[in-house]
Each structure stands twice: as structure tokens, then as C-alpha cells.
Amino acid sequence: MAAQRVRQTSAAFASFAAKRCAAGAMRIGTRTPEITCRARLFVCHAAAHRRTPFRVALTDMTQHFPLQILLDRAQHELDAATKQLGHAQREGADAHAQLDALLRYRDEYRERFAESAQSGMSAGKWRNFQAFLDTLDAAIDQQRRVLAAAQARIDTARPDWQLKKRTLGSYEILQARGARQQAARAAKREQRDADEHAAKVLRMRADAVK
């Protein structure tokens, strides 16, 4: 009788253990699809996170495209103004050099005229010297007007160049400010995504140990 009770107790215990194992297997079996689903969600989230910079770049490019147009136009206008100012300055330098050359030549010619007059010269030669001096003086006056016109063009081109340069600088400041704001937003998004990912991992681990 005692042996029979021992066998009955052992059988009951074995049956109980089998049921517990089966229940455990069922819980593991039901939990496995859940874990797999969460893992798939995590993979999808990671893939979406990898695509985020492209979507952000595309959105930011669309948002900043008008500013880029203004920057390109301002740069083109500044290049044109720089070219115009440089051309005016070269013309002014050439006109100034020609005026200096005429003035030096007139001074040298006057010295020769004075030396010739001291040694004596005919009336015809004197008239020729004087006529040539008058021609030089007229050329000098004309060259002074050319130089004045060139300087006027420089005075007109320089403020326009300065304005174009300030305009481009203002757009560049806006672009740099926008880039800093964009970087700050991107860093904030990345931090938020990282926090969400860490929270999901913690929840998955907590669910796995239950």
C-alpha cells in the first residue's frame, strides 16, 4: 500500500510538472511572436531613422531654395559690380598715367624752348614752338576731362559695389543662421529618436523577462 501511494504521488507530481512545462511552453510560444513583432518594429524604426537625413535635407532644400536664388542673384550682381568698378578704376589709372606723361612732356618741351630762346631763334621757329605748346596744353585739358569722367564713373561704381557686397553679406548671414537652426533641429530630432529607441529597448527587455 505504501509503495502504491508513492507511485500515485510520483505520477501526480509528474503530471503536474508536465502541465507546468506545457504552460510554460505555451507562454513562451505566445511571447515569441510578440518579441518578433517588436523586433520587426525596431528594424523598421531603425530603417526610417536612417532615411531621416535624406528627408530632412530634401525638406530643407525646398524651404531654403528661394534664399539660395537670392544668394546666387546677389553674387552675380556683386560680380558684375566688381567688374564694372575694376574697369572704371583701370580707366582712371590709365587716364591719370596719360595726364602725367603729357605734363612731363610739356615741361621738358618748355625747357627746350627756353634754352632755344636764349641762344636765339627765328620768328617762325618761335611760332612753331608756341603752337606746339598750345597743342600740348589743349591735350592736357582734354586729358584732365577724361580723368574727371573716369573718376566720376569710379565714384558711381564704388557705392554700387559696396551696396551689392552688403546685400550678399546679409544673405550669407541669413544662410548661416538658417544652417545653425537646421543643425540644432537635426540634433534635437536625433536626440529624440535616440531617447525613443532607448525607451523601446527598455520596454522590450522588461517584457522579455516577465
Q: Alpha-carbon distance 13 to 32, whole Å?
A: 28
Domains of the chain: 2-208 (1.10.287.1700)
Q: Alpha-carbon distance 33 to 129, whole Å?
A: 115
The x, y and z cell numbers of residue 79, run together, are: 560680380
Determine the pLDDT at residue 85.
Answer: 96
Are the C-beta atoms of 187 and 118 separated by less than 8 Å? no
Distance of CA 70 to the CA centre of its chain: 12
The x, y and z cell numbers of residue 33, run together, are: 511572436
37-51, 133-147, 178-192, range with greatest mean pLDDT? 133-147
Determine the pLDDT at residue 138.
Answer: 95
Q: Kindly tell me if the per-residue pLDDT of 98 is higher than 90.
A: yes
Q: Alpha-carbon distance 88 to 159, whole Å?
A: 13
Q: Kindly tell me if the per-residue pLDDT of 26 is higher than 70.
A: no
Q: Alpha-carbon distance 195 to 203, whole Å?
A: 12
Q: Kindly tell me if the per-residue pLDDT of 48 is higher than 80.
A: no
Please give the mean pLDDT across all residues of the chain: 75
Are the C-beta atoms of 99 and 143 separated by less than 8 Å? yes
Determine the pLDDT at residue 57.
Answer: 42
Confidence of residue 10 (pLDDT cuts 50, 70, 90): very low
Whether pTM > 0.95 for this model: the answer is no
What number of residues does the chain have?
210
Q: Alpha-carbon distance 34 to 210, whole Å?
A: 13
CB atoms inside a 10 Å sphere around CB 201: 12
Q: Alpha-carbon distance 81 to 128, whole Å?
A: 48
The single-letter DSSP state of residue 209 is T
Q: Where are the alpha helices (DSSP H) in the chain?
A: 2-119, 123-208
Contacts for 161 with CB less than 8 Å, ≥ 6 apart: 78, 81, 82, 84, 85
Q: Kindly tell me if the per-residue pLDDT of 29 is higher than 90.
A: no
* Burial (Cβ within 10 Å: 0-12, 13-18, ≥19) of residue 18: exposed
Q: Kindly tell me if the per-residue pLDDT of 12 is higher than 60.
A: no
